[in-house]
Amino acid sequence: MSDIIKTEALTYVYQSGDGERKVALDGVDLSISRGEFVAVLGHNGSGKSTLACHFNGIRLPTGGAVYIDSMDTRNPDLLYDIRKTCAMVFQNPDNQIVATVVEEDVAFALENLGLPPDEIRRRVDDALRAVGMYEFRRHAPHKLSGGQKQRVAIAGVIAMMPRCVVFDEPTAMLDPAGRKEVMRVIRDLNTRLGITVVLITHHMDEAVQAGRVVVMHAGKILMQGTPREIFTQVDALRAASLTVPQTIEVLFDLDNQTGADLPIDALTVDECADILERYLRPAAAN
């Protein structure tokens, strides 16, 4: 499976107004294959959002290189094709919604591309159906909930038919119900439409839904692997100022307290309950 995103020794340095330099990315090597669902974790200042902005050409490397479907982001002649291939959805949907009617907002970028009206109509309807917002197509965006607004913003992106979508903490401003709505859409884009998904998040319960987790710390990749491989490294994650899913935290702390030699790799509540029942019932019987 070929890579749709590849970074080679990627370095990015912020330059403040007083001339102070801060290294945000420090030699990052990362490959993401077509059709993958990758979650990128890290505490504030770890470099995860700066990394995301390189995938869309919003930021360009200070050193090293970024390739999107083999296109070098440093080539300004390729910027349009890069952004058409790899789109971005940001934290605040209000920053991406520009029209006063939902379907007009989803159509906005397509109209700027000069697509025929019947093609625009088809793409808008398909995109709104994909995110479960078709019945709201004639509503005013400002009257929608936060989760609904974010789904409209996602529809506007997928109407462009990108092969990859980068979500930069898309649920950060949402309540639990809105987060659940948006995560359902993100999973569906990946599993049903085959779109490559890169999810920047600090929510562990979102990261466990990915196929691979990349942990950033101090501008470097600290570790990467499947959710089960990553989240069982509790001490290393805590040292990087990160938490772990509550199911694993419960088992890890209980194991330390009781010495019961519990497996701690439960990613769901059901898995956690099964482990507790299997290992603790004999103790209760005795």
Q: Is residue 123 part of a domain?
A: yes
Q: Please state, in angstroms and rounded to a whole number, the distance separating the CA atoms of residues 205 and 186.
A: 14
205 class by beta-carbon count within 10 Å (0-12 exposed, 13-18 middle, 19+ buried): middle
For residue 268, the 8-state DSSP code is S
Contact between 84 and 162 under an 8 Å Cβ cutoff? The reply is yes
Say what the pLDDT of residue 59 is: 95
Contact between 233 and 215 under an 8 Å Cβ cutoff? The reply is no
Q: Is residue 114 part of a domain?
A: yes
Cα separations (Å) of 67 from 50, 169, 194?
15, 22, 20
Per-residue tens of pLDDT for the chain, all 286 residues = 589 999 999 999 998 777 788 999 999 999 999 999 999 999 888 999 999 999 999 999 999 999 999 999 999 999 999 999 999 998 888 888 889 999 999 999 899 888 999 999 999 999 999 999 999 999 999 999 999 999 999 999 999 999 999 999 998 888 888 888 889 999 999 998 899 999 999 888 899 999 999 999 999 999 999 999 999 999 899 888 888 888 888 888 887 887 777 788 888 888 889 888 887 666 555 4
Q: Is residue 122 part of a domain?
A: yes
CA torsion 213→216→217→223, rounded to 10°? 40
DSSP state string for 83-127: HHHEEEE-S-GGGT--SSSHHHHHHHHHHHTT--HHHHHHHHHHH
Q: Is residue 119 part of a domain?
A: yes
**Number of structural domains found in the chain:** 1
- For 14, the domain range is 3-244
For residue 242, the 8-state DSSP code is -
Say what the pLDDT of residue 113 is: 84
**C-beta atoms surrounding 156 within 10 Å:** 27
CATH code of the domain covering residue 171: 3.40.50.300
Say what the pLDDT of residue 279 is: 78
Q: Please state, in angstroms and rounded to a whole number, the distance separating the CA atoms of residues 148 and 118.
A: 25
Backbone angles phi, psi at 135, to 5 degrees: -70, -10
Structure token pair of residue 95: 């920053």
Say what the pLDDT of residue 282 is: 60
Say what the pLDDT of residue 283 is: 55
Contact between 154 and 131 under an 8 Å Cβ cutoff? The reply is yes
Q: Is residue 277 part of a domain?
A: no
Q: Is residue 189 part of a domain?
A: yes
Q: Please state, in angstroms and rounded to a whole number, the distance separating the CA atoms of residues 81 and 104.
A: 24
Q: Is residue 213 part of a domain?
A: yes
**How many alpha carbons lie under 13 Å from residue 223 in its C-beta half-sphere?**
16
Q: Is residue 184 part of a domain?
A: yes
Backbone angles phi, psi at 120, to 5 degrees: -60, -45
Q: Please state, in angstroms and rounded to a whole number, the distance separating the CA atoms of residues 146 and 175.
A: 8
